[in-house]
Amino acid sequence: MITTDIQKTQALKGKDLLKLVDYTPETIEALIHLADDMKKNREKYFDALKGQLLGMIFEKHSTRTRVSFEAAMIQLGGHAMFLSSNDMQIGRGETIEDTGKVLSGYLDGIMIRTHSHSRIEALAEAANIPVINGLTDLYHPCQALADLLTIYEIKGEFKGTKLVYVGDGNNVAHSLMIGAVMMGMDFTLSTPAGYEAATQIVEIAKEISSQTGAKLEFVENPQEAVQGADFIYTDVWTSMGQEEEAEARLKDFAPYQVNEQLLSFANPDCKFMHCLPAHRDEEVSAGVMDGDASVVFQQAENRMHAQKAVLYSAMKK
């Protein structure tokens, strides 16, 4: 089976990962299977990217993205270079296009964690090496791949599984929604009025769900939304760059805290997911975050394994 999955991902050689819809559902599923095999059989892929160089551009701070990508490259026999925008010429006005062209002469791949999605699109257009989205304002595809890997490990399949996202309709919600319906999972988004997912992302997800048969719902009441849920997912209420909105957000999102009471409306074996970092007793109670239902640290580890599958597929010579 894994040989077939590797063959399916060969089409990704030299290809960017800017958003999940750049890939087919079959390819994403093959990536998940490959990541699962890479996690279980690490030694089999040692030196798979020997001599390969990944440049990691950070215009936003990170813990998991930096460490997971760097560890992934080391485990695959390659090397990752941390590139802070504060230390690069893009921090002094050089265009992102010029940066892409220059780095293409030095590296075998680029990962960037940035603000506007248009920046990564411009970088990818100018570069002639694979560009991987470490996070933008619209999408977080690598997080979604890690989430799908986690769900696959727990359930062994995707179809027939209900995933409910409770909270802010942000970049994490966008990629998770698209990834879920691409895999045929039922997905429910529960957000307060005014914090819904971007309209263009919702339309994309609706189109995909009509093709895969996934049930896609938008339910404002979180207690109604989580009924029958196999997984409940949330994220921080105030992301980087939204600090001025923090007070208003705390008030608006208070009914959307994932706590023991909300969890009681879901299936008895429902698992709790969070992309981290988490603010205990804000978007999630400490009891749920640190309880038996939580799989958040399994998710965090899976960032590395999912990204290894992406790097291997895009950069292997």
Helices (H), 58-170: 64-75, 96-104, 117-126, 141-155
Q: Is 64 annotated as a binding residue?
A: yes
Asked if 271 and 291 touch (Cβ cutoff 8 Å), the reply is: no
Hey, which residues does 162 pair with through a beta bridge? 186
Q: Is 10 within any annotated ligand binding site? A: no
The residues assigned a catalytic role are 113, 140, 143, 235, 275, 303
b/e 258-274 (16+ beta carbons within 10 angstroms → b): beeebbebbeeebbbbb
**Residue 227 marked ligand-binding:** no
Residue 128 has φ and ψ, to the nearest 5°, of -115, 25
What interhelical angle do 296-315 and 64-75 show, nearest 10?
Answer: 50
171 carries a ligand binding annotation = yes
Give the separation between CA 176 and CA 144, rounded to whole angstroms.
Answer: 5
Residue 92 assigned to a binding site: no
Annotated ligand binding at 276? The verdict is yes
Residue 233 C-alpha from the chain's centroid: 12
Report which residue type is found at 277: P
62 assigned to a ligand binding site: yes
Residue 249 marked in a binding site: no
- Residue ranges for the known binding site are 62-65, 89, 113, 140-143, 171, 235, 239-240, 275-276, 303
- Residue ranges for the known binding site for L-ornithine are 171, 235, 239-240
